[in-house]
Structure 1
Amino acid sequence: MQLVLISGLSGSGKSIALNVLEDVGYYCIDNLPANLLEESIQFLASHGYQQVAISVDARSGDSCQHLPALVQKLRQQLNFRLLFLESKTETLVRRFSETRRRHPLSDEHHALPEAIAMERDLLDPIAQLAHRIDTSDLSANTLRSWIRDMIALEGAQLTLLFASFGFKHGIPLDADLVFDVRCLPNPHYDPVLRPQTGRDRDVISFLENIPEVREMLSDIEQYVRKWLPCFMRDNRAYLTVAIGCTGGQHRSVYMTERLAAQFSADVQTLVRHRELM
């Protein structure tokens, strides 16, 4: 059986992720109580279900505390992935205000930001074991695309995910390693290059001819190559390497594309450009 377990904060996009999986042929269960998870998996496996996706979140209450141990057990038994969706608190507050839905942990004693903080604490042990996806700045269509890309990859080995971002929009919550390339010359100050991105030929030519750019690219590559085996031994499914510049348009995009190309022959890679959506 191929099993995808989806968890995360309320309002972060779990329903969207589950719908994507259903569209590609997974048998999906939403809001399954955590204490029924193992029994349900055994039942589905015994009845021949080959691709299953299950959403478990804070609505399970105290039974969530048993999930980390079960996750470790499932990793030994199945082709298993754990995805955890999260967003910044201000983004979640805005989404709940727009939809006028009630947060599952809010009541007369806890305002919405307090309920979100309680949910983070409750689910943190699960988040620490999962591949985390920060949906704060993602459209629904972009999230759907990212989920499809992840599911399309073989699950038996680590996937190295290179992501560009702009520091002025905040560091991605799901980054495992963060590299700051704001010290490099900025194409933004060239009027010809400003409207382009790090994927355009003129910007690529500008950056690849700067010695400091080549040196930093080499340093980041060597660092990741040195420590990648350690992350693999930690039985991770994904490692997210985030490269940040000021606006996330030029330097970080160029570096992300180059790093992904250099690692693609050795390990499964994905590329994300958060600010180019």
Structure 2
Amino acid sequence: MASTDLENVPVENTVRALRRLAPGAALREPRTPELRALARALRDHAPSELARTHPVPVARVVLAGQLRALDRAVIGFFGACHPAGPEAARLARAAHYSRTRHSRTRRAGPLLDRLRAEPGLRAAALGWAEACGHRILAGELRGVPEVPAAGDGRLAAELAVAALLPAPDRGGRVPSGDLVRTGSAFLDVRSLRIGDRGFRVDVESAAPVELVRDEEGLTLRALWWKGLGRVTDDLGHEYLVLAKDPAGTPRARHWCHPRPAPGARVLRLESAGYRGERLRLDVASAGSSADVLVKLELTVRLGA
């Protein structure tokens, strides 16, 4: 995995860590000039500010990402757009017709060139882009470019951050000295393994589950941990949370970068919060869920 799990670790947390990153970090070089420009800009600007301060690279980075999604969609990988939707079906038919029509006359060129040359494929792609909320791509297809909004800036920041982050170091060894764990009612640090490029920390989650019977029947109430959102040390450095094992087991494994800084004695692990769920066990009743703003901090004391 070469990018951060941004659903569980907000891009703002990663940007903050990049500004106070512990020494020894080895970041990747983004491939395009626009991604490099945005990566530099994130040193001084919040993700939501990028659309205002750097509109041109934001628009180009978002457009490139949305074109990649479209390129997958024309061969049947629809991503966030439901495959059964009418816009997706029209896009698939138009793309099939385009490939069949030109298979004997020329090889397919870059997707954007094909869209400009083929009105039918462009119209189908425009409908798909609008249904998916890809406003920058939709503006490009209309020939009237959209001005990037704050949401586009945040998306561009996510893409720039993903281009910077290294792959997690999945190897590791137990550090010398003792590991002292401090937990809470719900969480406990189970192990810390330090590798050449970073460290891996396993946290056990024991969030409460309650089954209640009332006049309407049985209700299951549960809290599900979202994982770590921030890792710092006692020297003021921060660490990047590169990846997290999928949810579904009590123990969550995180890969962080880089190795603990020389002289650091304590790692502070901040919980990203919990997701609360309330589910009626009656088939006729719909379940509901909501985010619960719970923040906990664990302490890992590093051995000498």
Q: Give the TM-score taking structure 1 as reference length.
A: 0.23
- Which structure is higher in helix share? 1
TM-score, normalization by structure 2: 0.22
Larger radius of gyration: 2
The structure carrying a bigger strand percent of its residues is: 2
